[in-house]
Amino acid sequence: MLDLDFNLNELNSKTDEELAVLGKTDKTAAAVLISRYSRLIFIKSEIYANSDTDSDDLHQEGMLSLLKAIEAFDPQKGVKFSTFAEVCIVNRMRTLSKRSVKNTSFVERIDDDEAEDVLSVEETPESIYFYKEFFSELWKNICSVLSLTELNVLTLCVQGLSYRSAAEKLGMTEKAVDNAMQRARKKIRAVMHDTN
């Protein structure tokens, strides 16, 4: 466990660009990068959700787009990973939303022209299947090691709730939520270590 903690501390100190390069072959590096971008994906999924496109669907697509961004990122192009990842995530969500709503106008940091200049991620049925299978299996493994309390706390915190808000929603103390998150993190690290 000490080796794993040291590895995570080392990975946490790396830039997004370094993690993206490592994340192509190292699942733990990819997981650290995913944790950094989970809030962005959550926020974007809420922005692009509409009556026909559920925010949960958009959140899942955003996660898949982030994995594809890790796979396709090329530091030689001179584009920051944060810009590249946001383009991939936003374009996918925008595409899904526009299928159901023709006339949408969202305010965001990246415009269409800039998005087209960035390397697009090739989407194949095989890659979509691979990522969905990967996330499904990973989530199943995480759920199998977490208690119900830990799973509830993790779900609310990933959705962007503060420890205080999660505590109120679950009828727990803030300290109990913090303890549950600490236990969940240790268990998730162990799962990520086993799958690497």
Domain annotation for the chain: domains and CATH numbers: 1-123 (1.10.1740.10), 125-196 (1.10.10.10)
Choose between 102 and 160: higher pLDDT: 160
Residues listed for the chain? 196
Share above pLDDT 70 across residues of the chain, in percent, rounded to a whole number: 71
pLDDT in tens, 117-168: 443 445 555 555 555 666 667 777 877 888 989 888 887 877 777 889 889 9
Taking the C-alpha atoms of residue 100 and residue 87, their distance in angstroms, rounded to an integer, is 20
Taking the C-alpha atoms of residue 58 and residue 61, their distance in angstroms, rounded to an integer, is 5
CB 68 within 8 A of CB 127: yes
- With cut-offs at 50, 70 and 90, classify the pLDDT of residue 21: very high
For residue 145, with 0-12 CB atoms within 10 Å meaning exposed, 13-18 middle and 19 or more buried, which class applies?
A: middle
Q: What's the pLDDT at 124?
A: 54
Nearest residue to 85 (alpha-carbon basis) of 106, 63, 104? 63
Place of tokens 């090739």: 122
pLDDT in tens, 53-70: 677 778 888 888 888 889
Q: What's the pLDDT at 40?
A: 84
CB 133 within 8 A of CB 187: no
pLDDT for residue 17 is more than 80: yes
Residue 181: count other Cβ atoms within 10 Å of its Cβ. 17
